[in-house]
């Protein structure tokens, strides 16, 4: 059994802190600082499905904008992230942000004019735990750090982010190990003295297809990287798979939704053209509205296990959040000047056969010609909560076998020239890799660690603003040790 997890670690440094704070309990000051401006609204009680969908749309927009700003290259051909995790971390930070910093954060969260944003987003968290999604959050506070009680209280009540004293790297690592079911050990090497606050969250998803794939039918197939190149992949196949499939002329893509057990589904968007150019046009709730009834069809889906790591600071800066890393107004957290340092992120996704029930028939020898959905070229995916339509995970896969040397397009039957192949992929030489351990369902693991670099410039007279540039990358204040299991 495996699991998917997401971990987000956000760390805030105190600007210009030179002396070690005394190792006392975190100093909580009682300034009655208004945490959020929901005063005009009654934000108590339960929220309607429509309200949840509005927040789901905001989370989606955040995810899409981040995807647009993350590089895809042959060296890093796949992107996997959790819009939900990022939204939760930024929203929690927003609770302590003031003036233009608060506005900036709300804007990037697409929540500037959403009443009760924090309440509704926060209300999704316990709601998710009724499905196959688990969210865990923690806020580590440096002893002696003068934190405002309103921030701690709001973080706890809105986002279930437990305040915990930052006592040792071992304790942090133990928590990480606990919430990741042991998948991440020794997460941090050390915690630099100028870190006063770390926001962390972990999201796990472990889903089983409503209709599973028969592992004995999985066989080698071909994934077309572009007009010239392809890579071999294990293809999960089904001759009769119930699927919602939409051919969207505007996106120039096939769109399919695979239901999971427990109110989530896996959306696959398979464009005829460039997968990146989907992003500005994508609207998940619009697609869900237009998805037709389930129909039985032939489905090929690559069986993949992918990892992704990325420093997010540059992408967040392109999204307009650069001031978080220089001189944000976080006076809702503390009266001392604070800033955010690096934001790092790592995640994995694993697609495999296991699900709830076998598909109707597992024989690949097909019936009469039915529709075919063959995911054998670059695609976008989203793991979507069916109620709020919030994307819990999102990603782009342009090469499901990045460690494999691409081969010249293996296309003896002239499947065309850059068009998406509608033919079942040719099994290369019938080689069937016997997979040693049987994995199950869909695994998403995501680790986001916003590893914060030292706030105080190392001796050498550099000034604050230069800190976050490449030159500093080696001085990451929190070193992560291979957070994603190989
Ligand atoms: C931060 O915002 C608060 C509230 O608007 C304001 O009182 C304070 O002066 C601001 N701090 C800075 C450094 O701009
Ligand atoms: C708040 O931000 C505005 C600009 O957005 C600025 O003019 C004003 O001085 C700031 N207020 C405080 C108290 O910092
Ligand atoms: C980790 O889990 C163990 C066993 O459940 C528990 O005793 C320990 O307190 C946990 N540690 C942290 C840091 O959460
Ligand atoms: C799915 O949602 C329905 C109502 O929306 C709920 O009754 C049911 O318990 C949920 N199922 C799971 C597995 O969470
Ligand atoms: C297509 O994708 C490549 C990278 O794979 C990118 O460089 C290029 O700009 C994209 N073209 C369009 C039109 O989006
Ligand atoms: C997405 O589509 C829904 C329903 O069609 C619409 O209400 C919403 O405004 C759209 N969102 C965006 C960002 O265009
Ligand atoms: C692919 O298309 C190009 C130009 O459209 C053409 O020159 C080439 O012969 C085509 N290749 C194949 C294998 O059809």
The predicted structure's pLDDT at residue 26: 57
Q: Identify the sign of the CA torsion 130, 134, 135, 140.
A: positive
User: Could you read off the pLDDT of 295-326 as tens digits, one per residue?
Assistant: 889 999 999 888 787 778 899 999 999 999 88
Helix (H/G/I), strand (E/B), else coil: 256: strand
Query: What residue's CA is closest to ligand 2, atom 13?
Result: 99
Residue 275 has pLDDT above 60, yes or no: yes
Tell whether ligand 2 has an atom less than 6 A from the beta carbon of residue 103. no
Helix (H/G/I), strand (E/B), else coil: 103: helix
Residue 419 has pLDDT above 80, yes or no: no
The predicted structure's pLDDT at residue 192: 77
Q: In which residue are the tokens 């070193």 written?
A: 479
Ligand 5 atom nearest to CA at 398 = 5
Tell me how far CA of residue 416 lies from CA of 230, 272, 400, in angstroms. Answer: 13, 12, 21
Mean pLDDT within 267-292: 94
Residue 13 has pLDDT above 80, yes or no: no
Residue 21 has pLDDT above 50, yes or no: no
Tell whether ligand 1 has an atom less than 6 A from the beta carbon of residue 99. yes
Ligand 1 atom nearest to CA at 327 = 13
Are residues 372 and 298 in contact, defined by beta-carbon separation less than 8 angstroms? yes
Helix (H/G/I), strand (E/B), else coil: 179: helix
What residue ranges line ligand 6, CB within 6 angstroms? 57, 283, 285-286, 289
- In degrees, to the nearest 5, what angle opens at C-alpha 299 toward C-alphas 294 and 305? 115
The predicted structure's pLDDT at residue 349: 81
Tell whether ligand 4 has an atom less than 6 A from the beta carbon of residue 386. no
Least confident of 8-12, 198-202, 315-319: 8-12
Residue 158's pLDDT band, with cuts at 50, 70 and 90, is: very high
Residue 420 has pLDDT above 60, yes or no: no
Q: What domains, with CATH codes, occur in the chain?
A: 5-30+47-207+306-348+443-475 (3.30.497.10), 209-302+352-439 (2.30.39.10)
Query: What residue's CA is closest to ligand 1, atom 13?
Result: 329
Of the candidates 308, 359, 441, 307, the residue with the CA atom closest to the CA atom of residue 1: 441
The predicted structure's pLDDT at residue 29: 59
Strand stretches in 118-259, DSSP E: 133-141, 146-148, 162-165, 195-207, 209-212, 219-224, 229-248, 253-259
Within 8 A by CB and 6+ apart from 261, the residues are: 132, 207, 208, 209, 210, 355, 356
Tell whether ligand 3 has an atom less than 6 A from the beta carbon of residue 174. yes
CB atoms within 10 A of CB 413: 8
For 6, phi then psi, to 5°, come to: -130, 135
Least confident of 1-5, 11-15, 196-200, 283-287: 1-5
**C-alpha 282 to ligand 6 mean position (Å):** 9
The predicted structure's pLDDT at residue 463: 38
Sort 337 into a burial class: Cβ within 10 Å, 0-12 / 13-18 / 19+. middle
Within 8 A by CB and 6+ apart from 106, the residues are: 94, 112, 117
Strand 372-374 relative to strand 295-303: parallel, antiparallel, unpaired?
parallel
Answer with the residue of higher pLDDT: 153 or 18: 153
Q: Which ligand is nearest to the CA of 386?
A: 4
The conformation of residue 323, written as its DSSP 8-state character, comes to G
Mean pLDDT within 136-163: 91
Mean pLDDT of the residues in the chain? 76
Mutation probe of ligand 4 site: the residue of 210, 260, 263 with most atoms within 8 A of C-beta = 263
What span, in angstroms and rounded, lies between the C-alpha atoms of 175 and 201? 11
User: Could you read off the pLDDT of 209-232 as tens digits, one per residue?
Assistant: 989 899 999 999 999 998 889 999
Answer with the residue of higher pLDDT: 415 or 381: 381
Residue 22 has pLDDT above 80, yes or no: no
CB atoms within 10 A of CB 193: 18
Ligand 1 atom nearest to CA at 99 = 5
Are residues 210 and 355 in contact, defined by beta-carbon separation less than 8 angstroms? yes
Query: What residue's CA is closest to ligand 3, atom 12?
Result: 175
**C-alpha 213 to ligand 5 mean position (Å):** 33
**Of all residues in the chain, what percent carry a pLDDT higher than 70?**
70
Within 8 A by CB and 6+ apart from 149, the residues are: 28, 29, 30, 31
What span, in angstroms and rounded, lies between the C-alpha atoms of 255 and 393? 17
Query: What residue's CA is closest to ligand 5, atom 6?
Result: 276
Are residues 77 and 398 in contact, defined by beta-carbon separation less than 8 angstroms? yes
CB atoms within 10 A of CB 130: 9
**C-alpha 90 to ligand 2 mean position (Å):** 21
Residue 108 has pLDDT above 90, yes or no: yes
Strand stretches in 388-473, DSSP E: 391-397, 407-408, 442-450
Query: What residue's CA is closest to ligand 5, atom 2?
Result: 274
What span, in angstroms and rounded, lies between the C-alpha atoms of 206 and 221? 25
Query: What residue's CA is closest to ligand 6, atom 11?
Result: 283
Ligand 4 atom nearest to CA at 263 = 1
Are residues 467 and 453 in contact, defined by beta-carbon separation less than 8 angstroms? yes
The predicted structure's pLDDT at residue 40: 52
Are residues 26 and 163 in contact, defined by beta-carbon separation less than 8 angstroms? yes
The predicted structure's pLDDT at residue 44: 81
Query: What residue's CA is closest to ligand 3, atom 6?
Result: 178
Q: Which ligand is nearest to the CA of 77?
A: 5
Residue 10's pLDDT band, with cuts at 50, 70 and 90, is: low
User: Could you read off the pLDDT of 349-401 as tens digits, one per residue?
Assistant: 888 888 655 544 433 444 455 688 999 999 999 999 998 999 989 999 999 99
The predicted structure's pLDDT at residue 418: 41
Q: Give the tokens for residue 406.
A: 């691409």
**C-alpha 272 to ligand 7 mean position (Å):** 16
User: Could you read off the pLDDT of 326-349 as tens digits, one per residue?
Assistant: 889 999 999 988 888 767 676 778
Residue 413's pLDDT band, with cuts at 50, 70 and 90, is: very low
Ligand 5 atom nearest to CA at 378 = 5
What span, in angstroms and rounded, lies between the C-alpha atoms of 53 and 385? 10
Of the candidates 347, 366, 88, the residue with the CA atom closest to the CA atom of residue 241: 366
Instruction: For 56-71, give the DSSP string.
Output: HHHHHHHHHHHHHTS-
The predicted structure's pLDDT at residue 468: 36
Tell whether ligand 2 has an atom less than 6 A from the beta carbon of residue 99. yes
Helix (H/G/I), strand (E/B), else coil: 255: strand
Tell whether ligand 4 has an atom less than 6 A from the beta carbon of residue 262. yes
**C-alpha 448 to ligand 6 mean position (Å):** 28
Ligand 3 atom nearest to CA at 178 = 1
């Amino acid at each position: 059994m495996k699991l998917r997890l997401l971990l987000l670690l956000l760390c805030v440094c105190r600007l210009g802190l030179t002396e070690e704070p005394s190792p006392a309990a975190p100093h909580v000051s009682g300034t009655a600082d208004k945490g959020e401006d929901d005063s005009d609204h009654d934000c108590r009680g339960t929220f309607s499905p429509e309200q949840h969908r509005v927040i789901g749309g905001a989370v989606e927009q955040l995810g899409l904008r981040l995807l647009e700003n993350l590089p895809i290259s042959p060296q890093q051909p796949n992107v996997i992230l959790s819009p939900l995790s990022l939204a939760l971390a930024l929203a929690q930070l927003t609770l302590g942000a003031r003036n233009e910093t608060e506005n900036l954060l709300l804007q990037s969260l697409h929540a500037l004019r959403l009443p009760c944003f924090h309440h509704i987003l926060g209300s999704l968290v316990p709601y998710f735990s009724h499905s196959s999604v688990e969210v865990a959050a923690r806020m580590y506070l440096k002893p002696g750090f003068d934190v405002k009680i309103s921030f701690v209280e709001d973080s706890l009540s809105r986002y279930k982010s437990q305040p915990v004293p930052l006592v040792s790297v071992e304790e942090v690592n133990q928590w990480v190990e606990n919430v990741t079911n042991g998948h991440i050990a020794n997460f941090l090497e050390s915690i630099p003295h100028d870190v006063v606050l770390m926001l962390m969250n972990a999201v796990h998803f472990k889903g089983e297809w409503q209709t599973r794939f028969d592992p004995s039918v999985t066989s080698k197939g071909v994934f077309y990287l572009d007009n010239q190149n392809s890579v071999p992949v294990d293809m999960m196949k089904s001759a009769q798979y119930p699927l919602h499939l939409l051919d969207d002329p505007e996106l120039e893509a096939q769109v399919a939704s695979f239901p999971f057990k427990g109110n989530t589904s896996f959306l696959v968007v398979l464009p005829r053209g460039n997968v990146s150019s989907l992003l500005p046009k994508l609207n998940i709730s619009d697609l869900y509205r237009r998805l037709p009834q389930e129909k039985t069809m032939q489905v090929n889906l690559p069986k993949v296990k992918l990892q992704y790591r990325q420093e997010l600071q540059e992408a967040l800066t392109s999204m307009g959040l650069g001031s978080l890393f220089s001189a944000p107004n976080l006076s809702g957290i503390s009266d001392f000047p604070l800033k955010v340092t690096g934001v790092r992120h790592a995640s994995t996704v694993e697609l495999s056969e296991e699900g709830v029930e076998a598909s109707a028939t597992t024989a690949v020898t097909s019936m009469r010609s039915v529709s075919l959905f063959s995911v054998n070229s670059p695609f976008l995916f989203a793991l979507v909560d069916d109620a709020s339509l919030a994307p819990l995970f999102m990603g782009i896969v342009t090469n499901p076998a990045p460690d494999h040397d691409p081969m010249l397009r293996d296309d003896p039957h002239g499947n065309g020239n850059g068009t998406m192949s509608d033919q079942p992929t040719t099994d290369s030489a019938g080689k069937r890799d016997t997979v040693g351990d049987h994995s199950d369902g869909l695994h998403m693991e995501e680790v986001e660690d916003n590893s914060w670099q030292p706030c105080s410039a190392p001796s050498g007279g550099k000034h604050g603003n230069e800190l976050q540039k490449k030159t500093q990358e080696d001085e990451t204040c929190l070193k992560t040790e291979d957070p994603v299991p190989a």
